Amino acid sequence: MSPHFLAGLNEPQLEAVTLPSQSALILAGAGSGKTRVLTTRIAWLIQTGQVSPHGLLAVTFTNKAAKEMLTRISSMLPINTRGMWVGTFHGLCNRMLRMHHAEAGLPSLFQILDTQDQLAVVKRIMKSMNLDDELYPPRKGLWFIAGNKEEGRRPKDVEAYDEFSEQMVKVYAEYDQQCRREGAVDFAELLLRSFELLSNNDLLREHYRNRFKHILVDEFQDTNKLQYRWLQLLAGQQNAVFAVGDDDQSIYAFRGANTANMQHLQRDFHIERVIKLEQNYRSHAHILDAANALINHNRKRLGKNLWTSEGKGEPLRVYEAATDLEEASYVVQEVKSLRSDGLSLGEIAVLYRSNAQSRVLEHALFNASLPYKVYGGLRFFERQEIKHALAYLRLVANADDDGAFMRIVNFPTRGIGARSLDQVQEISRSRGITLWAAACANTLSGKASASIAGFVRLIENIRIATAGLPLPEVIDHVIEGSGLKQHYKTEKEGADRLENLAELVTAAASFIAERELQPLDEGVAEPDDLSAFLAHAALESGEHQAIAGADALQLMTVHSAKGLEFHTVFISGMEEGLFPHENSAKEDEGLEEERRLMYVALTRARRRLYMTYAQSRMLHGQTRFNVASRFFQEIPAQLMRKTKAAPRPLLQPSYFANRGYSGNVPVQPKVDMGNIDSGSPWKIGQSVVHAKFGSGVIVTAEGRGADARVQVNFRNGGLKWLMLEYANLAPA
């Protein structure tokens, strides 16, 4: 009699679960029940007596997934799962090293360093080596160490190729010695030390090979090189590795994920046939057909085709907006409509490629009083880098702001320690003055006095340099002059923070454009732009925050959405340079990962899917005209229903001109060509087609008559100037 937990499995799922004791690769498409297959496989192996609960090892990528796996197993079998080896790579390696600390050369109570602990060690080492932290940023030293550990390299194995890498190897070597002296390990060390332990200790390696006859791995497409080598070492030639993954959902190359491990597994463990789970239990057919068509443009894939018995469903809705503000407005109106039809906000997600995109969406939701949550991150005005920049602005606007002073006095670090700050605070308390006044009094001595004086000069210089400048230029100057921009350039994942800081400039420009249209209260003095903007930021940072458990719209990046599903999904910002991102679309590998990211976005939706884009978008404080994402061309037209915005009145730039702001302003594309002949058929923002360069958008125009020319942003050719007389352009 078959175990009860096999009931309801489809044919490929049942085949995967009941495979003989052999290595296997299960190619599990989105929504195909991979977690069920993995946990049911474990239950089946135990139920049929092929292995005891303590004779198998299962690896996941998050603690949450590990807990869910154990919960599912205990619901299928009456066993105690507490002692089972189910967990993340780091968690399992930590467990192994705790049990064999002596053999691994570690104290019994070894400490695990977090990122901040590691950074502190690297900074001390670099200081002792007299390295200039501008030439050799400590964070880059941290990445250098982690990157080499994840490749399985100790300092002696690292080949230096220039002066920078020579110094980094020395830092790595000293860091390695320091950690050994202190009996401490970092996260990358857990895996590397565990790998070395198994490599160098034959008895221990054989012990674990004899114990773990079955090794099961979830999200196999996300494994890196060292993780794969660790699994190889643990399995040997006799044990079975049951790997479940989806190469089409591999979106973490920037973290070291190596999709080639799936091919390596087939070769190294002699897997002749890959079992494909292609029946999707999540989405309607139109959504899956779009995802299949899109991902089929990737050349380096194992290949599968998702299908469903749930019916075709609705076409994908594509909306072309004139501006990013209009795009956000459309999303809000559609969300309101869905809500009025009875759909809960928690069943709706708005996805975007870059964190900085959330700001315009948040502003529209705030104005519409729609509750929302930013999943896996913070609201725009609550993000660390934004709060730092706002604190500089607050102190520039009001020197008596003690909260702003405390936040930025030593950020980025400028050698002002806790003791020096205590002294400044004591002066403030004893004299009944603000911290700024106490810092200006500066009765400290030595290095502390010089550091405090340097901070005071910095703020005063910013205040002088920005006097009379338009608000966007003030913010741009503060981001640069404060050192925030340079600081985040040295962070491994600082690109996101830099994009957010650039978006703060855009937020200021948009705020002024909206402010021009708002009526003034009679008899009430109008605050200056900076004060008004700071008040606006404060209001949007905390008000209308959805409380825990409340029904709220979900906002998130596509990366954060992996593993989640929703009734309705909006994918916003579908433009070339944004999605696919301009930093990734220039190389085949990068473009294929962007396409996998889009595949993930599409397959989050169960019933309804929207894709939106804007002809013009304010990015980094400048308006740019956009070409629709190439991904639209990779989805069959019959699967989509396209609509576009009706023409709307233009915003006037007079407010900016009156304040001396000469940069780009958030206005809609003009419908006249200025100094081009008024009778010309070509308009800025117009979509066009060229016989050689393909489709594009006119972004600039100049000259008249025979000298008239236009600049076109081509989807595949970038920006090009064309003389109208010889352009061979045609309307799209």
pLDDT score of 675? 40
Of the pLDDT bands very low, low, confident and very high (cuts 50, 70, 90), residue 626 is confident
Q: Is the pLDDT of residue 277 over 90?
A: yes
Average pLDDT, the chain: 86
Q: Is the pLDDT of residue 727 over 80?
A: no
Give per-residue pLDDT as tens, 305-359: 999 999 999 999 999 998 999 999 999 999 999 999 999 999 999 999 988 899 9
One-letter amino acid of 443: T
One-letter-per-residue 3-state SS of 615-647: EEEEECCEEEECCECHHHHHCCHHHEEEEECCC
Whether residue 580 has a cis bond before it, omega within 30° of 0: yes
Q: Which one-letter DSSP state was computed for residue 248?
A: G
Q: Is the pLDDT of residue 665 over 50?
A: no
pLDDT score of 104? 93
Give per-residue pLDDT as tens, 455-469: 999 999 999 999 888
- Sequence-distant (≥ 6) Cβ neighbours of residue 199 within 8 angstroms: 205, 233
Of the pLDDT bands very low, low, confident and very high (cuts 50, 70, 90), residue 666 is very low
Alpha-carbon distances of 679 from 334, 671, 705, rounded to whole Å: 38, 12, 11
Rg, the chain, Cα only: 29
pLDDT score of 712? 81
pLDDT score of 422? 86
pTM beyond 0.85? no
Better-scored residue on pLDDT, 656 or 407: 407
pLDDT score of 55? 92
Cβ-defined contacts of 674-679 (< 8 Å, 24+): 674/701, 675/702, 675/703, 675/704, 676/701, 676/702, 676/703, 676/704, 676/708, 677/704, 677/705, 677/708
Residue with tokens 């189910």: 86
Annotated catalytic residues are 34-35, 218-219, 249, 604
Of the pLDDT bands very low, low, confident and very high (cuts 50, 70, 90), residue 541 is low
Q: Which of 237, 312, 280, 174 is nearest to 603 (CA)?
A: 280
> Within 10 A of 641 (CB to CB), how many other CB atoms are there?
13
3-state DSSP assignment of residue 356:
helix
Q: Is the pLDDT of residue 266 over 70?
A: yes
Rounded Cα distance, 257 and 261, in Å: 9
- Sequence-distant (≥ 6) Cβ neighbours of residue 390 within 8 angstroms: 381, 404, 534, 537
Question: How far does the chain reach from its first CA to its final CA, in angstroms?
Answer: 64
Q: What is the mean pLDDT of residues 127-133?
A: 88
Q: Is the pLDDT of residue 673 over 70?
A: no
Q: Which one-letter DSSP state was computed for residue 668?
A: P
pLDDT score of 706? 64
Lowest average pLDDT, out of 370-379, 542-551, 572-581, 611-620, goes to 542-551
Rounded Cα distance, 559 and 564, in Å: 10
